[in-house]
Structure 1
Amino acid sequence: MKRFFITFAILVTIYVIYIDLNEGTLSSTQKQEPSLEVQASPEDSSNFFEQKVQSGDTVLSIVEQYSTGGISVSLETVVKDFQQLNDGLKPEDIQIGKTYIFPIYK
């Protein structure tokens, strides 16, 4: 009798593993929420501004000053948008006293 229960338990375990690997146990019980990714468009005139760079300014510090509620995008997005607005200029190449275009994130 003991052998029967051990064999039955092994067969049930193998069956459960098989079902889990082929169909998954969570896919039918969890609802998939649609994801929405929002990215600012720097081409829109309301999404950028011009500013003269002061000593100690960085692209990130200037963008943070004009963004409402903090920056809602990644650093890579800020760099990419800055480069698009300034003809491929890298953020580390900005110069004190020159005016550049910076993206605004809401």
Structure 2
Amino acid sequence: MKRFFITFAVIVTIYVIYIDLNEGTLSSTSKQEPSLEVQASPEESPLFFEQKVQSGDTVLSIVEQYSTGGLSVSLETVVEDFQKLNDGLKPEDIQIGRTYSFPIYK
């Protein structure tokens, strides 16, 4: 009987490892996220704002301050939109004291 339980435990362990390696137990970031596309009409306010960067500011912290109801887009979208608004400047290259354009998310 002891041999049966050990064999059963080994089989279950191998099966669990197989499922984990093939499907995973955590949600994958490679799955397509729902995207939010914002189109502005001429009457709407601009979809970006300009702000001078202070010590300790990050692109994400500044964008979150101006987002109503929390951030509704992925971090990748924020980075892409910031780069579009600032001629390809990477978020990690911002400098204290300079003014940049930041996207607004509703």
Identify the TM-score tier after normalising by the shorter chain. Answer: 0.5 to 0.7
* Preserved contact between residue 35 and residue 73 of structure 2 (Cα < 8 Å): no
Following superposition, which runs of at least 4 residues in structure 1 exceed 4 angstroms of deviation?
none
Q: What stretches of structure 2 of length at least 5 have no aligned partner?
A: 1-33
Given the two structures, how large is their TM-score scaled by the length of structure 2?
0.61
1:95 aligned partner: 95
CA–CA distance in structure 1, aligned partners of residues 58 and 96 of structure 2: 10
- Residue 46 of structure 1: CA displacement? 1.7
Q: Which whole-Å deviations, capped at 9, do the CAs of 1:48-98 have from their partners, x for residues lacking one? A: 000000000000000000000011000000000000000000000000000
What fraction of aligned residue pairs are identical, expressed as a percent? 79
- Partner secondary structure for residue 46 of structure 2: helix
The whole-number CA distance in structure 2 between the counterparts of 1:95 and 1:66 is 20
Q: Secondary structure of the residue that 2:68 maps to in structure 1?
A: coil
Partner of 1:104: 104
Distance 2:54 2:35 in 1: 33
Compared CA separation, residues 64 and 75, structure 1 to 2 (3 A): same
Q: List alignment gaps of at least 5 residues for structure 1.
A: 1-35
Q: State which structure, 1 or 2, has the greater radius of gyration over its C-alpha atoms.
A: 1
User: Matched residue pairs, number?
Assistant: 70
Q: Could you state the TM-score of these two structures normalised by the residue count of structure 1?
A: 0.61
Contact 1:39 1:73 in 2 (8 A): no
**Partner-residue secondary structure (3-state), 1:46:** coil
How far did 1:38 drift? 2.2
Alignment partner, residue 86 of structure 1: 86
Give 1:39's match in structure 2, choosing from 37, 62, 69. Answer: 37
Return the letter of the residue paired with 2:89: L
What CA RMSD, in Å, does the superposition of the two structures yield over aligned residues? 2.0
